[in-house]
Amino acid sequence: MSEPDSKRLKTTGDEPEYELVYWPGIPGRGEFVRLLFEEAGVAYADPARTSPDKAVAQVLAATDAGANPPVLAVPVLKHGAVTLSQTPSILLYLATRLGLAPAATETAFYHLNQACLTILDGFCTEVHETHHPVATSLHYEEQKPEAKKRAKAFIEERAPKFLAYVQRLVDSGDGPWLHGDSLTYVDLVLFQCIDGTSYAFPKTMAQLKASGKYDGVFKHYEAVKERPNIKAYLASERRAKYGDGIWRHYPELEDTIEVEVTVNE
């Protein structure tokens, strides 16, 4: 938290209460967690910006975790004595504490989790599969023919299918947010997913946007982007640039494919 513009974040003492452990240099899945802190204006330690490799290695190797079960992958949230992994679980844990989700005693808690999981399936996990359809242990260049096939299916079928679902989700609410009359963490998750997917597949997303069939989704995207804390964050140095993470831009994965926006959804 050495960036000057991070000073606007509230702190609860000398050290931030929360720490996010994630790979350095990319937004990735860590970005969903960051967006919650930024929107809420809550300070968080983010060693990806200072001593990244050490932090990730330590958290993955931990065996003396006491009450904390082992974790397989980052992002990991550290909060006091708690160590927690798996993005959707971190988001649930944090969102209720940061005022970005109703309590678990309400059905909406589970409905928001449902929406979160579906959005992540479509625009995070499946986007990663487009460039790594065979093995995460191989380079993209080693699975390019398979990636082209997988990307074709994503462009022609999966992206329209998930966008249509999200449009239904937007329509089911009273607007502008997905649930109730105030923003929840799932609005931030959807924003990041549309942002990342638009980076990875710019032509595809532009054509799908131009179809006019998902106006609610893209309007929602702009509404989140204009939230004061999110706007300031996106303009800051804390926002990592896209690179070799989940959302990658390989022009060849969409250049030869015609988006069929009238495809069956």
Strand spans (E) along the chain: 18-21, 44-45, 76-79, 82-85
Please count the CA atoms within 13 angstroms of the CA of 205 that sit on its side-chain side.
17
Q: Which lies closer to a second copy via its Cβ, residue 5 or residue 215? A: 215
Q: Which lies closer to a second copy via its Cβ, residue 55 or residue 151? A: 151
| Residues 6+ away with beta carbon under 8 Å from 44 | 1, 9, 16, 17, 18, 19, 20, 34, 37
In the complex, the residues that contact a second copy under the rule CB under 8 A are 63, 65, 67-73, 82, 84-86, 88-90, 92-93, 96, 103-105, 107, 109-111, 113-115, 117-118, 125, 129, 133-138, 143, 146, 149-150, 152-153, 157, 161-162, 165, 168-169, 172-173, 178-179
What tokens appear for 126 in the block?
């499946």
Query: What are the φ/ψ torsions at residue 242 (nearest 5 degrees)?
Result: -65, 150
Measure Cα distances from 93 to 71, 83, 87, 124 in Å.
16, 11, 10, 20
The one-letter amino acid at 40 = A
Q: Which lies closer to a second copy via its Cβ, residue 6 or residue 204? A: 204
Least gap, CB of 212 to a second copy (angstroms)? 20
Contact 178, 115 (CB under 8 A): yes
Q: Which lies closer to a second copy via its Cβ, residue 24 or residue 173? A: 173
79 bridge partner residues: 18, 82
| Residues 6+ away with beta carbon under 8 Å from 10 | 41, 42, 43
Q: Which lies closer to a second copy via its Cβ, residue 61 or residue 206? A: 61
Q: Which lies closer to a second copy via its Cβ, residue 158 or residue 209? A: 158
Dihedral sign (CA 113, 208, 126, 123): negative
Q: Which lies closer to a second copy via its Cβ, residue 73 or residue 223? A: 73
Least gap, CB of 155 to a second copy (angstroms)? 11
Measure Cα distances from 188 to 45, 74, 221 in Å.
20, 19, 9
